[in-house]
A and B are shown apart, each in its own frame.
Chain A
Amino acid sequence: MSRVVFSAFGSGGDVFPSLAVAETLSRSGHDCTVIAPRGLALYARHAGFRVVSVGDGSDIAAPRDVRLMTTRFDGFASWRRTLNKYVTAYVRSALSGAARALEDIRPDVVVHHPFCGVGPIAADALKIPRVCLHLYPQLLFGRRRVGQAMTNFACEFADLLRDLEPPEERARRGRTRSLELGASGAATIVTHDPALHPDTNLGDCVMTGYPYWDRVESNERDVEVVESLISAATGDLIVVTQGSFLGLYRQEIWHRLLDVPAFARRPVLYVGVPTTERVRLENEPRRYAVGFVPMSNVVPHALLVLHHGGIGTTYGCVGAGVPAVVFPQAFDQMYNGRLLEAAHAGRICMDSGQLRKFDMSAVEDLRHGAISVADALIRPRAAAAHIAERVLTVARLSAEAP
């Protein structure tokens, strides 16, 4: 039996692969703990995982930051702000708690998000092997060049990492470990799928597929709404979601998604809507709004999904063979949208104007593309099992090392 700690960061799509792997490992009798910022930790708590909440909770302010939501520089501008403003503050407030938790648990291996900071830093200090679950292959092409660019780009975060690094380690390396930190552990596993991301030339990183997971709890009213829509089986259901990060906190985003002529006269289900917005969204006939419901319950019944391009929703839709219209706002969302476009499984609409011009006649072709990708995708359980096996291998090799 191995002890595995998952050090999570980000939003739903970032943490769900970790929970899928944790679930796989737990089923085999391994001991799993999730260390996460307080808001993100709620997902793991809901799902019944043992959780250590770290940090001062200030990360919950991030989604409200207007300047975070930008597609400038292909999403790098939002990463820059996230790293400099929020990850830096998170690492400062959470590192001691994370280190304490690792000292108490003494895990055989730490599995971490590439940006989480506290997991890799604390693991390195305690000489615990670590595995990076990497969601951003675009940062791994020409890793050193991109790593250096990111270091210059997110200089405040890079400075913090440099300050935290033991001087002898910095001297040994000869240069700052900076933002390459996430991908420099014992193994880097990229949670994209070769069927959607054909360029797998990522050096020593391995691409395993995306272990989709969404076992989130829903309230009874939302479950009833979804069940009644599914049982109606009209065949023309449109699902609109903006994910956990954008949809719940940036309420104005829903205003921009209301006027889509192509969706007129079709039932539209808005998923992940805060309570204050639901009444307004449901003003029109055949419009329904719910909070969190597992997308895997809804998407297979949809004709089309309009989403933000987050990695979790992207794989949730294409895995079900359902085409998507991607309305990207920040981070890797444009990149994921381009992957869908290249696979003829989705279309990017950069603004409300393009969204209004979207023509439903494109859906049939997109559906064929989505089904082709779905047929070739690594199944989520297989991806989770593959990652779990690699994580255990790293733990075992490390234990056997002299």
Chain B
Amino acid sequence: MTDDRRFENFESFVESLLTHMHVPLPERLDVSIGLYDELGLDSIQALELLIIIEAWADLAVPPADIPEIFTLGDAWKYFCTACELAQAERSDRGV
């Protein structure tokens, strides 16, 4: 797993994420696709997804409230948020 990944767009993020998690790519990538009901992720993979997103964003101090991620769109949105939080952490350190 490589930290601090940057993705061009939603599609490239999802392709990397699902490939990394060994989850087959759906025929069509859409923000509304459900992770659990449509892609079949289980409770463990839900935790892994969160960990992967935060590791890719290189986020050290995650939000106290664990985000609710139900769709591919939620995952992308949280990745963008995590990147912003990580950027703020780096700015605080003067990096």
Chain A residues engaging chain B, CB cutoff 8 angstroms: 38-39, 41-42, 45-46, 48, 50-58, 60, 93, 97, 100-101, 104, 248-249, 274-276, 291
Distance in angstroms between the alpha carbons of A58 and B51 in the assembled complex: 9
- B41 to chain A minimum Cβ distance, whole angstroms, is 9
B43 and A38 contacting across the interface, CB-CB below 8 Å = no
A60 and B62 contacting across the interface, CB-CB below 8 Å = no
B38-50 vs A, CB cutoff 8 Å, 1 = contact: the mask equals 0000111001101
A291: which B residues are within 8 A, CB to CB? 43
A-B contact pairs, 26 of them (CB 8 A): A38-B55, A39-B51, A42-B47, A42-B50, A45-B62, A45-B64, A50-B64, A51-B61, A52-B60, A53-B54, A53-B60, A53-B61, A55-B55, A56-B1, A56-B2, A56-B3, A57-B1, A57-B54, A57-B55, A60-B48, A100-B93, A101-B60, A248-B43, A248-B44, A249-B44, A275-B42
B42 and A276 contacting across the interface, CB-CB below 8 Å = yes
Contact A57-B44, Cβ < 8 Å, known A45-B62, A46-B66, A97-B60: no
Which residues of B16-71 are within 8 A (CB) of A? 42-44, 47-48, 50-52, 54-55, 59-62, 64, 66
B42 and A274 contacting across the interface, CB-CB below 8 Å = yes
- A280 to chain B minimum Cβ distance, whole angstroms, is 13
Contact A42-B42, Cβ < 8 Å, known A57-B55, A60-B51, A101-B60: no
Report the interface size for chain B: residues with CB under 8 A from the other chain: 20
Interface majority SS on A: helix, strand, loop or mixed?
A: helix
A53 and B62 contacting across the interface, CB-CB below 8 Å = yes
- A97 to chain B minimum Cβ distance, whole angstroms, is 6
Distance in angstroms between the alpha carbons of A308 and B93 in the assembled complex: 44
B62: which A residues are within 8 A, CB to CB? 41, 45, 51, 53
A60: which B residues are within 8 A, CB to CB? 47-48, 51
Distance in angstroms between the alpha carbons of A46 and B93 in the assembled complex: 26
A54 and B60 contacting across the interface, CB-CB below 8 Å = yes
Q: CB-nearest residue of chain A relative to B48?
A: A60
Distance in angstroms between the alpha carbons of A97 and B59 in the assembled complex: 10
Contact A42-B66, Cβ < 8 Å, known A52-B60, A53-B60, A54-B60: yes
